[in-house]
């Protein structure tokens, strides 16, 4: 059983029914579950790990991202894709995405998860909808499990390739 005490929080945003914002507050966590919140003076004085925020930080609940495409972090700075309308953007990037590998999916998922975590997101849902070169959703799941983000994997909506009237090239659609 491990415990964590985060104390001397300048402002703790609780998001409870009353939307309380507690000053000079603390959080006591046992086995990764928040057990108590309140004033620093009201909570236990010690724990296995103590983080003293010295009345300088605001703490709020983790954010939830409900729509992401992790693989796209690898191509967000492609000049030809900047400032495009959606379909032109996709058409520009599909040829690049066609070269992704299982390792690319793994690395992009870890990069996206790291960006989210550093931005305060603790839970994300990703819509992987391209499957080139035998890529699998399992590649992404393994990457997220290794980095520790809470995660909901979702199959993306691109089921039809160009030959069947869809937008993505056939080689990107899951077989």
Domains present along the chain, CATH in parentheses: 3-61 (2.30.40.10), 64-172 (3.20.20.140)
Of 76, 63, 72, whose CA–CA distance to 107 is shortest?
72
Helices (H) and strands (E) in the chain, counts: 3, 8
Candidate from 34-43, 88-97, 159-168 with smallest mean pLDDT: 159-168
Express each pLDDT in 88-117 by its tens digit.
Answer: 999 999 999 999 999 999 999 999 999 999
Residue written as token pair 């998860």: 113
In the predicted model, is pLDDT for residue 77 greater than 90?
A: yes
d(CA 29, CA 22): 17
Record the pTM. Answer: 0.81
Question: What are the b/e assignments for 55-92, b being 16+ CB within 10 Å?
Answer: eeeebeeeeebeebebbbbbeeeeeebeeeeeeebeeb
Q: Per-residue pLDDT tens for 47-74?
A: 999 999 999 999 999 999 999 999 999 9
* pLDDT, tens digit (0-9, with 9 covering 90-100), for 113-142: 999 999 999 999 999 989 999 999 999 999
pLDDT average, residue stretch 151-168: 87
Please report the pLDDT score of residue 158 as a whole number: 79
Sign of CA dihedral 53, 54, 55, 57: negative
Residue 175 has pLDDT above 90, yes or no: no
Q: Which residues contact 134 (CB under 8 A, 6 or more apart)?
A: 102
DSSP states of 47-113 as a string? -SEEEE-TT--EE-PPEEEEEE-GGGGGGTT-GGGTT--HHHHHHHHHHHHTT--HHHHHHHHHHHH
Q: From CA 65, how far away is CA 118, in angstroms rounded?
A: 13
pLDDT band at 154 (very low <50, low <70, confident <90, very high): confident
Q: Is residue 1 pLDDT above 90, yes or no?
A: no
């Amino acid at each position: 059983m491990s415990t964590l005490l985060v104390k001397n929080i300048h402002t703790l945003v609780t998001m409870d029914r009353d939307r309380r914002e507690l000053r000079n507050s603390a959080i006591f966590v046992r086995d990764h579950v928040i057990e108590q919140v309140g004033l620093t003076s009201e909570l236990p004085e010690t724990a296995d790990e103590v983080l003293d925020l010295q009345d300088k930080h605001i703490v709020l609940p983790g954010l939830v991202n409900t729509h992401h495409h992790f693989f796209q972090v690898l191509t967000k700075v492609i000049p030809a894709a900047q400032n495009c309308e959606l379909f032109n953007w996709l058409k520009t990037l599909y040829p690049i995405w066609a070269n992704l590998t299982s390792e690319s999916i793994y690395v992009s998922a870890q990069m996206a998860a790291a960006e989210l975590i550093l931005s305060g997101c603790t839970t994300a849902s990703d819509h992987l909808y391209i499957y080139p070169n035998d890529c699998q959703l399992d590649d992404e799941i393994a990457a997220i499990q290794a980095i520790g983000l809470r995660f909901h994997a979702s199959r993306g909506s691109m089921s039809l390739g160009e030959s069947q009237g869809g937008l993505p090239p056939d080689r990107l659609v899951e077989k």
